[in-house]
Structure formats: C-alpha cells, structure tokens
A and B are shown apart, each in its own frame.
Chain A
Amino acid sequence: MRLLTFLRGELFERGIHPPQYKLTAGAPILRLPYAPRLTVPLSQHIGRPAHPVVKVGQEVVRGQPVARADDWLSVPHHAPAAGVVEAIGLRPSSRGPWTESIVIRPHAGATQEDGWGVPRDVDAMSPQDILQAVWDSGMVGLGGAAFPTHAKLTVPENANVHTLVVNGCECEPYLTCDHRVMLEEAPTLIRGVRLAMRATGSRRAIIGVEDNKPDAVTSIQAAIDTAQATDIFVEPVPTKYPQGSEKMLIMALFGVEIPSGALPVSLGMVMNNVGTLAAVGRLLPAGQGLTERVITIAGPGVRRPGNYRVPLGTPMSFVLAWAGAPIDRTSARQLVLGGPMMGQAVAALDAPITKGVSGVLLFRREDMYDHGGRKTYPCIKCGECIESCPMGLNPSTLGMLAAKREYEEMGEQYHLGDCFECGCCTYVCPSNIPLVQQFRVAKQVLREAAAAAPATPPAVRA
C-alpha cells in the first residue's frame, strides 16, 4: 500500500481512487433562466441566519440586499432577480427542516443583469476594505462547506500568514463546476487571488489542481503569465480522493501534517476554493453581491448533464426539468446535493439551490449500489477501511463501538473527532456497513453531550 502510494507519487497515504465520471468536463457553463418563484433562505451558510430588510410586496432589483448579516459569522443575502417579494416565511430547505426564506417573483422578462452594484477601484482598497467588501457581497465558501469567506480571510491576531493556498482539486466524482470555472474564468480567478492575498497579507499564492485536469493548469498558467504575477503558482497534485480536503492538499503541496485540531493558519496558510476566489474576483470590482453560482448537474438519471450558472434560490425541480430529468411519479430515485462521496440527499424537490451547493446529481433506482439487494454483513475485519482512511483512524473498531453506542470511548481513545466524514471507509467496506453514518450520529451525540455538560464548577476553597 505504501509502495503503491510512493510509486504514484502521492504524498498523503491511504485514500481511494473511485471512478471519476467527470463526463461534463467539456460542457461550457450555460445560464439558466429564472424560475417562476425564487426562494432565498436566510440561512445558506454556517452561522446565524440573516435578518430580512425587505417587506412583502416590495419591489427589488437584482443584486439588492434583502437580508443583512446578524453577527460576525453571518452574511447578507441579495435578491437573485428583479421582481416582487411575494412572501417571507417558512419554506422547505435542502437540509430537511423548513427554514425562514424570502420568496421573490421575478418580473416577466427580467434580465440577469445586476441592477444594484456600482463598480469601484479595488486597487485603492486597504485590506480592511477588502474584507468588508467581501462580507458585504455575501460570499461563502462555494466548495460546499458554506463557511463565510470574510471570516476565513481574516487572519487572527498574533498569527502571520505567508501563503494563500487555492484549492482547485475537485476530487469528488461527477463534479466539474470548479474545472469549468478554472478554464473559463482564469483571469478573474487570478484577480480574486490577488485580492485575497492582499486581504490576508500573504506573500505567495499556490493553486493546487488535481492532475486529471491538465487543461485547467494550462489555462491558469496562461492567466498568470498574462497578469505577470511572479508570486502566484499553479501546481498539479496527484488525483486521489480526498485530495481536496484541506489537510490532504497541504500535505500534497508542502509535505507537512497539520497537527490534529489545528487550522492551516497555524502553519501560516489560508485556504480557499477556486470557485470562491473567482467569484470574489468578479464581484468585488463590480461592487455586486453573490446572486448566482455555477453548479454541475449530472448523474446517470440526467439526460442533458452539464455545468449551469444558476440564480440562487432556483427550485431543484426547475433545475432538473431544465437538464432533462423530469421527475415522474413512477420510479424511485435519489437526489444528491454536492458530490456522491460527501453530498447530502435532498428530501424535497421544492428546496432551492443555495450558496453551498456545488452540484445536483440524480441517481435512478437501478443506479444505486444496493439495487441488486446487497446485504450488510458483520464486520469481517478485513482492514480495508484502515487502508483507506486518510486520517489514519481505525474505522473498523470505531464502527463496532458505534454499534454498541460506546460513543465516549470512540471520542476519547479512537480519535473520532479527527474524522471529517470523507466516506472512504464506507466506500471500500465489503460488508456494506454504513460506517460514516454511524460516525455522524456518534459525533452529534458527543457534541450534544459536550453542550449539555455543565461547565466544571470552580474549585471551592475551604
């Protein structure tokens, strides 16, 4: 195993090589028209929901802020279309529970031009101004985590950031939206990288791209040469899942392990996704807010798979109908937001596309892996999961402990907290044990226990 890792030139050990299915890599980004109703949830990010600043019946133009940030880990939202605010209330969300949302009915024939932003000179902005502008644009990490970008770009006090790492790995099968962005918007990406470097005070930027996307590397290199940037580098890294994880990419580029529980900033690095920085490079000079994003619509159940630029808030059913996957009521299917390894199954077709959605995948009943009635066996202790866990955990033992609800032992002795739910162990498990699902439950139980535990009482002096 280690020998194979060495021969392939891979720096992080273990991990898996699932089939890639990057069939839409050649499909240029297309624009989607407006759906009859757009639903903008107030919580599209990690952190507290935003506060609506519009009223029902109010007319809005595209790009107008409709909700303001509540606190530091919150971002404002902008109207994705010129139209009328039809309702503010509970609507289905992709996470399951109904959440507070603003429903906008676009005007008939409304264009997709931003009618609010005012262009500005970004070269004259100070790092503080850039961070504020990023916050005002409502940017969150477009790779899937939806962490507010301004918070990620803010360097903590007494930390020193020297390197901006840009993540262009896109290691999930099926997804190609970042690939297309790197091909089609490389100059914008470089502009965004420049802005982020100024905001963080980095002295160099390194763009890591998996080596199954050589055209993206060429395209970025050309943009770097055009911009005459001597402090921005693009580097192909080996293709392996989960190369796009923060820790794995840093291992591939610099050969160091981020200590457990620490952030890249402890090594003087800040990491961002290519899609995020390309959006920053486009929105900031134009003074606009984030109102659309690129998603990949793919999967065996889609007739016209491709990469689409979708107004935020477009309902899933509209997107699928457009991509040639109309939902009939005859056969069962599965709808996945994000990649097939870490993405989340959607419960409601009315759920909107939000800022953190990188793809919509549709699997028919006959494409699911347990279609042939695959059984779940007890763990046969083959050790495949240990050979595939990029974090070096022992999923076999963790799974057995989880089945017995020994959650505390999992956390204390078997480092459950280091698991980032990449799904490698479940992918390789020959016994078909839902390991990641058990770990998710265990982590949630531990989190709740930690939140419920009373703070240790202060020592009482006798």
Chain B
Amino acid sequence: MSAVIEIRSAPHIKGPRSVQQIMFHVIGSLMPVCAFYVYQYGVSALASMVVVTAACLLTEWAFTRTGTQSGSIADGSAVITGLLLALSIPPGFPLWMGAVGGVVAIALGKALFGGIGFNVLNPALVGRAFVQAAFPVAIAGYTPSFLPGRFTEFIPSSLAWPLMAPPDTAAWLAAFSVDGVSGATPLARWKFEGVVATPTELLFSLSGHMAVGPAPLLILLCGAYLAVRRFLDWRIPAAVMGSAGLTALILFAIDPLHYPSPLFMLLSGGLVLGAVFMASDVATSPVTPRGMWVYGALIGLLTVLIRYYSGLPEGVMYAILLGNAASPLIERITQPTPFGKTGLLRRRRGASYPLHPDYISREEAGAVTPKKRLFKIRR
C-alpha cells in the first residue's frame, strides 16, 4: 500500500485569523476616517493619500522583491502605513514631499529592520518624523477645512514641483473672504496665541473652518469596532487617553488659567489618531497585557509634557516613538505570571465546591506566600 499520508505536528486545526485578515480589517476601518478627511479638505487630501500610499507600496514591493525584507506586498501592512502617514500630515502638504515621506517610512522604518513584525518603531511615524525634520515649514502649513471649491481646486502647495519650495498658501487663503480663516491648528493657536477651541467643535470637526486633522469622533468609533472584533487591543488607546487626560487634569486643577482643559488636550491634534491607530500598532507595542498599560501611560504622559513644556505645539509623534523604543524594556519587566506561580492559594469566586474541610491550606502549614507585584525585576 502506498497511500500518501502527511505527518504534521499538532494542533491539526487552526483558527481563521491571519495576518492579512488583521491588516485588511484595519484598512477597512480606516476608510471612513479617510473619506471624511477627503470631505473636509477635498481633492488635495485625496491626492496626498493616493501618492503617499503608492510610494509606500512601491517601496515595500521593491524591498520584498529583492528579498531584503520578509512578508509580501499582499499583506496590506504598507497600505496602513501610507494611509496613517497621509492622515498625519497637512492635507496641502506638497505631494513630492509626501512621497519622500512614504519611501522613508518603509525603507528606514520597516525594511531596515527586516520587514513586517521586526520593526522597532512605527513606520508611519518614522516617515512623519523625517518630513518634520526635513520640511519644517511645509509641515506647519495647515489649511482650514470646508473651504469653498475644495473639490475642484488643489491647494497650491500640493502641486509644488519636486525639489522646489511650495508656494505660500497665506496669499491664496487671503483670497477667501470667510470669517475666522486661519492656517494655524487649534494646538498652535493655543500655544502661540492663547486661543482655546471648545471640545465639541473638535470632537465633530464639522463646524467652522478649523485647521484640524481627521475627526476624533469617527476615529474613536472605528477604533471601537476594531477593539470589539479584537483586531486591536483596547488597553493601549485606553491607557494613552487615560494617562494624557489625567496628566492634563492634574495640571488644569493646579492652574486653570495657564493650562487648558483636559478635554481640549484629548481631542486636539493627533492624540486620538495616535492613540487608536498608531500607538496600538501590534509590532511596536508590548505584547504583555500589563506592559500595554505601562506603554500607553508613558505615551500619554510624554504627549502632554511635550505639548506643555517644549517648543513644539504637537507631541504625539515623539511620544509614540519614545514609547516604541521603550517597549522591549517594558515587556521585559511585565511578563505575565504563569498559572500556579502566583503563590497565592486564594480561591476564585464562583467555584462550585469548597475544598474539603480536612484540607490544610499552605498558609496554615507555614508556607511563605510571595507578594504579587506589578513589575518583576530580574537578575
């Protein structure tokens, strides 16, 4: 008999979840955010997204093709990088600069480390940090949302020739005779002009001509969907937002005149986008549940500190990059406690049967119970 029998190692069945499935769910949940972003800023935002994502995909394809990085272009992770990078730069950012950012994001942020799963820093934020350092003027040039004619006309800076400085958008903006038009983001206005936007304006991003990024409410809804389907871990966004809100609340309670309200801090800038979609990037955040809390808390704290005490209006990007860098260390001291190693012979509630009355507990027998601690310090 020469039947063909394959020999494999158990388990012989697998769960349905795959890397592609995770990535495509994240892309799908980014779609409403992107659509609203295009609705806010028009054709320039759309062009920016397409160009940046294409740059990321091309770079990914080149590196996977040459075998210098693992994974394949089909897993969709480069699309996420491109979309997140496009959402985190101004809509009128020159397209050629966006493309440079996309190439750098994949090449330096991902391929250099070996591809999907090996990257230490979030690739989108590596690209963002690069363009911030390389093009500081262009990245500060936000334009207001809901400008008339945004679906037919490009923001002039978008179409700058490669390697050329973009034209100034201020003169172009002045042509609009709309009230309250300004190119400054709410955070920059608070930092440099002392004007604080109300939280509801920020939450929906629908009123007025504010130079805000994607709408926080929409991001939160999409993130909630992902968290419920367990495509991202809810602990990280919760920890980032909780820690940032708490820090801002403490400062606000100390000196309400000097520091803005915590709600403004939470909803302005890129904090919501960063907390939901960037900090929670699986490869660059700790895997351990306790580590996720520590990591998120660190990011939230750093964000508020950078915003308040540095020369920059925005701090989410550097906070997340620092958190990424710290995550291997965080992981090391927050390893989960194995079953039966807690040292506690404490009974869980809800058990059906008591131990037998004759049973003598370890504590009564003189066993020493070690203390349960959040962190474990190893030699």
Contact = CB atoms under 8 A, between A and B. Distances in A.
Contact of A383 (B287, B353, B355): B287
A286 interface: no
Contacts of B351: 11, 252-256
Contacts of B14: 369-370, 374, 426-427, 432
Residue with the highest number of chain B CB atoms closer than 10 Å, among A11, A333, A381, A390: A381
B72 to A, nearest CB: 8
Contacts of A392: 336-339, 341
A420 to B, nearest CB: 10
B68 interface: no
Given A379-B117, A381-B283, A394-B336, A427 B15 contact: yes
Contacts of A306: none
A378 B118 CA distance: 8
B314 interface: no
B352 interface: yes
Contact of A259 (B71, B288, B340, B353): B340
Contacts of B292: 383
Interface residues of B, number: 64
A423 interface: yes
A357 to B, nearest CB: 14
Contacts of A335: 5
Contacts of B254: none
Contacts of A206: 353
Contacts, number: 229
Given A382-B282, A427-B11, A391 B347 contact: no
A379 B75 CA distance: 13
B338 A253 contact: no
Interface in A205-262: 206, 233, 235, 237, 247, 251-262
B347 A345 contact: no
A4 to B, nearest CB: 10
For the residues of A in contact with B, the DSSP-based class is loop
Given A340-B13, A392-B339, A256 B3 contact: no
A276 to B, nearest CB: 21
A255 B344 CA distance: 12
Nearest to A317: B1
Contact of B5 (A332, A428, A436): A332
B350 interface: yes
A247 to B, nearest CB: 6
A106 B342 CA distance: 55
B6 A384 contact: no
Contacts of B349: 255
A23 to B, nearest CB: 14
Interface of B: 1-15, 17-19, 21-22, 70-72, 75, 114-118, 233, 282-283, 285, 287-289, 292, 331, 335-356, 358-359, 362, 378
The 4 A-B residue pairs whose C-beta atoms are closest, nearest first, are A255-B351, A423-B11, A378-B117, A255-B348
18 contacts: A173-B13, A252-B352, A254-B351, A257-B344, A267-B355, A268-B355, A268-B356, A329-B3, A333-B3, A340-B10, A347-B5, A374-B18, A382-B287, A383-B287, A386-B287, A415-B338, A418-B341, A426-B14
